[in-house]
Structures are given as C-alpha cells and as structure tokens.
C-alpha cells in the first residue's frame, strides 16, 4: 500500500507535536526521528502523486 502525501504530512505534524510536548529526552528524540521519516516518505509520496513535478524539461 502506498501512503498519500496528506497522510504522511499529518503523521509528520503529529510526531513534531509529540516531540514539542515531551519532557523526556529519549521520547523527544524518537518523535523527531519519526517526524523525519514521515517527511521523507511524504516527499516520496509527492513524487509518486506528481511524477512531472520538478522535471518540466523531460519529454
């Protein structure tokens, strides 16, 4: 199953919120790593959803 960019961005935002609210360093670290992973997956989803985005010079 391929994830949508909307879902990925929502999950990224959720994990950023968890990191901001965390009082424990390890929880903050894990949440930030998760947010970064969702951001990476979100970027891949955008490329899947818009294959021509950023590649206007291709024929």
pLDDT score of 28:
98
- For residue 44, the model assigns a pLDDT of 95
Q: What is the pLDDT of residue 55?
A: 52
How is residue 42 written in tokens? Answer: 């979100």
pLDDT(54) > 90: no
Helices (H), the chain: 5-21, 25-49
Q: What is the pLDDT of residues 21-51, one digit of tens each?
A: 999 999 999 999 999 999 999 999 999 999 8
Is residue 52 predicted with pLDDT exceeding 90?
no
Q: Provide the pLDDT for residue 1.
A: 78
Domains of the chain, by residue range, sit at 5-49
Reference 29, options 15, 39, 19; nearest CA is 19
Q: How far is CA 29 from the centre of its chain?
A: 16
Per DSSP, 4 falls in state P
């Amino acid at each position: 199953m391929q994830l949508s960019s909307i879902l990925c961005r929502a999950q990224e935002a959720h994990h950023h919120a968890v990191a901001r609210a965390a009082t424990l360093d390890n929880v903050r670290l894990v949440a930030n790593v998760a947010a970064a992973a969702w951001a990476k997956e979100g970027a891949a989803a955008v490329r899947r959803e818009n294959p021509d985005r950023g590649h206007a010079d291709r024929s």
